[in-house]
C-alpha cells in the first residue's frame, strides 16, 4: 500500500444519502484501493447505522465532544471500511442528516464541528489499533472544520484535502460560536474563518487545507468567478495553485446497457435492443410516433438545472419532429410549466413527476438524446449516463458538462471527436439553437451513428479519477 486516507463526510451511498456527494464518498474507497491507497470513511452514527457494523470495535473516545461523550466505532458495512462517530446527544434523533421534523437541526454547527474535531483528533493521534492516515480528505462544509482543527491544533504530519461538491452550502454559524466550536479567536478575520461577520465551515476548510479539489476542471476555474463562487470566489482564486478539478466517475456496473436488468440489452455495435427500448419508452409515456429525435430529461426540477428554459424551446423542436419525455420533481412552478408544455404538445411531450430509478434507466436506454441545460453543474451524472446509453447529450457548456461532452462542431465532426451538443450562453435562445442542431444532426444518419457510437465507447469509470486523487494524495504526503 502506498498510503492511508481518512475520508470524512456526512453522507455515503448505502448508509445515508441526500445527493451526489454520497455516491462519490462510497465509490472512492474501492477505486483508491486499486491505486494502492487504503481509505476509511468516517461518518456520524445516525440512528441505526452503528448496529450495521460487523464486527464493531471502539477505536477512539472522548469524554466531552461538544456537550456529551463521543466515541468512534470501526467496522464494515455496505462493503466499506467505516469509522462511525457515536455521539447520541448530536446524532441520535429522528429526521435526515441535516433536518428534523421542524426543519434544520438548530445545532448543525456543533454536530458537524464534532465530526470534524473527532476526525482531526483521530488522524493526528491515530486509533487505539494504531491506524493513522497520511491524508485527511474532508468533503464539503460538514467536514470543512477538520483541516482547521489540524492547522490550529498540535503540530502534525497529517495533510489535508477539502473537496467542494456543492458551494451553495457553506455551513455558516454565528461568530459567537467560535469558542464553543473550539476555534481560536484570532482565526476570525477575513483571511481566516470569517465570512461577512459569520463563521463559515467551508471557508475554514478552503483557507486551512493543504489542497482544495472540486468535481470537474471547468468548475474549478468557474469557482474563481463571482457568477459561480457564491461569495467564496476570491478565497478560491487566492489559492489557485492548490486547487484541483477531478471529474467524478460513474458506476459502470450499474450503468451498463449490455447488462442493465431494466432494459433490452444492447451495445454500440448491436443496437437492435436500443430500438426496442425506444418503442417501449414511447409507449410507456403515451407518445405518438416521434419522427425526429426523442429527447429525455431526468432531473431535479430547479433553477440550477435550467428547466425554465425548456417550455419555450419545445415549440420549434416538436414542429421539426422532436419529442420529449420528462422524469423529475422539484419546484412546483417548474413542474406545472412542464405539464402545461405537455398539454400543448400531446403525443410529443410527456411528463412524469416523481423519482424513479428504474424508469430513469429505461429512459436513458430508449432516448435518442438527453437534455442537461444547467446554469451551473459541478460535475453532473446524467450526461455521462446518456453517453453510455447512446442518448446523445445536449448540454450547457458549464462545469462538468463542458468537461465530458465534445460539441459536434464542424471541426470536431471532421476530426471524428464529437460526442454531443454543447451550447452557451445558457439561455432560451441557446437551448433553442441547440435543439435545432440536434434535429439536423439526427437527420444526418451517418454522422448521428458516429457521434452516438463514440459516446458509448467513452470511458467514464472511476479508474481515471482515482488515479488523479492518488497522485494528489501522494503529492501532499511526500
Ligand atoms: P444533482 O446531484 O445536482 O441532482 P447529478 O446529475 O450529479 O445532479 O445527479 C443526479 C442523479 O439523480 C442522477 O443519478 C440522476 O439520474 C438522478 N435523478 C435525478 N432526478 C431523478 C428522478 N426524478 N428519478 C430518478 N433519478 C433521478
Helical ranges in 196-286 per DSSP H: 201-208, 217-222, 226-229, 233-238, 272-284
DSSP annotation of 16 reads: B
Distances in Å between the alpha carbon of 455 and those of 218, 322, 385, 406, 407? 20, 21, 10, 9, 11
Cα 60 to averaged position of ligand 1 atoms, centre (Å):
36
- Number of helices (H), then strands (E), belonging to the chain: the values are 18, 20
- Strands (E) across 334-413 are located at 349-353, 369-372, 392-396
- Which residue among 11, 252, 285, 299 has the greatest number of ligand 1 atoms within 8 angstroms of its CB, and so is best to mutate? 299
Are 316 and 344 within 8 A, CB to CB? no
DSSP secondary structure of 187-205: G-STTTTEETTEEEHHHHH
- Those residues with Cβ within 8 angstroms of residue 159's Cβ, 6 or more apart along the chain or in another chain: 134, 135, 136, 210, 211, 476, 477
pLDDT tens digit at each of 478 positions of the chain: 689 999 999 999 999 988 889 999 999 999 999 999 999 999 999 999 999 998 999 999 999 999 999 999 999 999 999 999 999 999 999 999 999 998 999 999 999 999 999 999 999 999 999 999 999 999 999 999 999 999 999 999 999 999 999 899 999 999 999 999 999 999 999 999 999 999 999 999 999 999 999 999 999 999 999 999 999 999 999 999 999 999 999 989 999 999 999 999 999 999 899 999 999 999 999 999 999 999 999 999 999 999 999 999 999 999 999 999 999 999 999 999 999 999 999 999 999 999 899 999 999 999 999 999 999 999 999 999 999 999 999 999 999 999 999 999 999 999 999 999 999 999 999 999 999 999 999 999 999 999 999 999 999 999 999 999 999 999 999 8
324 Cα: distance to centroid of ligand 1 (angstroms): 17
> Distance between CA 415 and CA 451 in Å, rounded?
11
Question: What kind of architecture, by CATH, is found in domain 272-457?
Answer: 3-Layer(aba) Sandwich (3.40)
Residue 67: name the closest of 92, 99, 95, 46 by CA: 92
Which atom of ligand 1 approaches the CA of 329 most closely?
Answer: 23
Alpha helices in 324-356 (DSSP H): 332-344
Two domains, one topology: 3-249+462-477 and 272-457: yes
d(CA 72, CA 69): 11
Measured from the Cα of 19, ligand 1's closest atom is: 2
State whether the beta carbon of 170 lies less than 6 angstroms from ligand 1: no
Instruction: Please tell me the residue having the least CA distance from ligand 1 atom 12.
Output: 299
CATH topology of domain 3-249+462-477: Rossmann fold (3.40.50)
Query: What 3-state DSSP class applies to 367?
Result: coil
| pLDDT reported for residue 326 | 98
Ligand 1 centroid–CA 300 distance in Å is 6
To 5 degrees, how large is the angle CA 290–CA 293–CA 296? Answer: 95
| Tens-place pLDDT, residues 343-376 | 999 999 999 999 899 999 999 999 999 999 999 9
Q: Which residue's alpha carbon is nearest to atom 19 within ligand 1?
A: 299
> How far away, in angstroms, is 107 Cα from ligand 1 center?
29
Q: Where are the domains of the chain?
A: 3-249+462-477, 272-457
Q: Which of 329, 355, 367, 401 to mutate to test the pocket of ligand 1 (most atoms within 8 A of CB)?
A: 355
Whether 300 is in the pocket of ligand 1, judged by its Cβ within 6 Å, is: yes
Whole-angstrom Cα distance, residue 474 to residue 297?
Answer: 40
CA of 328 to the centre of ligand 1 (A): 8
CA distance 136 to 200: 19
Q: Hey, which of 21, 215, 251, 298 would you mutate to test ligand 1's pocket, going by the most ligand atoms within 8 Å of its Cβ?
A: 298
Question: Which atom of ligand 1 has the smallest separation from the CA of 305?
Answer: 3
Residue 19, ligand 1, Cβ within 6 A: yes
Amino acid at each position: 500500500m502506498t498510503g492511508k486516507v481518512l475520508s470524512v463526510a456526512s453522507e455515503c451511498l448505502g448508509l445515508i444519502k441526500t445527493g451526489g456527494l454520497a455516491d462519490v464518498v462510497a465509490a472512492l474507497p474501492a477505486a483508491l484501493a486499486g491505486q494502492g491507497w487504503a481509505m476509511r470513511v468516517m461518518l456520524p452514527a445516525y440512528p441505526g447505522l452503528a448496529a450495521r457494523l460487523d464486527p464493531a470495535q471502539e477505536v477512539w473516545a472522548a469524554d466531552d465532544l461538544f456537550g456529551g461523550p463521543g466515541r468512534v466505532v470501526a467496522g464494515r458495512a455496505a462493503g466499506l471500511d467505516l469509522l462511525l462517530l457515536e455521539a447520541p446527544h448530536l446524532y441520535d434523533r429522528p429526521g435526515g442528516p441535516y433536518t428534523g421534523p421542524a426543519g434544520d437541526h438548530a445545532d448543525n454547527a456543533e454536530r458537524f464541528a464534532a465530526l470534524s474535531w473527532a476526525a482531526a483528533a483521530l488522524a493526528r493521534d491515530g486509533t487505539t489499533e494504531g491506524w493513522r492516515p497520511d491524508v485527511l480528505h474532508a468533503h464539503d462544509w460538514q467536514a470543512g472544520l477538520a483541516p482547521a482543527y489540524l492547522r490550529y491544533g498540535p503540530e502534525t504530519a497529517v495533510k489535508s484535502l477539502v473537496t467542494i461538491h456543492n458551494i451553495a452550502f457553506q455551513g455558516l454559524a454565528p461568530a459567537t460560536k467560535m469558542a464553543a466550536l473550539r476555534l481560536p479567536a484570532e482565526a476570525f478575520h477575513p483571511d481566516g474563518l470569517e465570512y461577512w461577520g459569520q463563521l463559515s465551515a467551508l471557508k475554514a476548510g478552503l483557507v486551512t487545507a493543504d489542497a482544495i479539489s472540486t468535481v470537474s476542471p471547468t468548475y474549478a476555474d468557474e469557482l474563481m468567478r463571482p457568477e459561480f463562487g457564491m461569495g467564496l470566489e476570491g478565497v478560491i482564486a487566492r489559492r489557485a495553485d492548490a486547487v484541483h478539478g477531478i471529474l467524478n466517475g460513474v458506476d459502470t456496473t450499474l450503468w451498463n446497457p449490455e447488462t442493465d436488468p431494466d432494459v433490452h440489452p444492447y451495445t454500440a455495435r448491436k443496437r437492435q435492443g436500443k430500438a426496442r427500448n425506444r418503442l417501449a419508452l414511447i409507449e410507456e409515456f403515451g407518445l405518438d410516433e416521434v419522427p425526429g429525435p426523442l429527447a429525455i430529461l431526468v432531473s431535479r426540477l430547479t433553477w440550477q438545472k435550467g428547466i425554465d428554459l425548456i417550455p419555450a424551446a419545445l415549440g420549434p423542436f416538436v414542429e421539426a419532429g422532436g419529442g420529449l419525455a420528462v422524469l423529475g420533481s422539484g419546484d412546483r412552478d417548474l413542474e406545472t410549466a412542464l405539464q402545461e408544455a405537455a398539454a400543448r404538445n400531446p403525443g410529443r411531450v410527456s411528463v412524469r413527476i416523481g423519482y424513479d430509478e428504474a424508469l430513469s434507466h429505461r429512459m436513458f436506454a430508449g432516448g435518442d438524446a438527453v437534455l442537461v441545460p444547467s446554469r451551473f453543474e459541478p460535475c453532473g451524472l446524467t450526461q455521462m449516463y446518456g453517453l453510455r446509453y447512446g442518448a446523445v447529450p445536449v448540454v450547457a457548456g458549464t462545469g462538468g458538462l463542458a468537461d465530458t461532452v465534445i460539441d459536434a462542431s464542424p471541426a470536431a465532426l471532421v476530426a471524428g471527436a464529437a460526442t454531443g451538443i454543447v451550447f452557451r450562453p445558457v439561455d432560451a435562445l441557446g437551448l433553442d439553437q441547440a435543439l435545432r442542431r440536434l434535429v439536423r444532426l439526427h437527420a444526418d444518419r451517418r454522422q448521428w451513428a458516429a457521434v452516438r457510437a463514440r459516446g458509448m465507447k467513452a470511458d467514464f469509470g472511476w479508474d481515471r479519477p482515482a488515479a488523479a486523487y492518488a497522485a494528489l494524495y501522494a503529492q501532499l504526503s511526500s
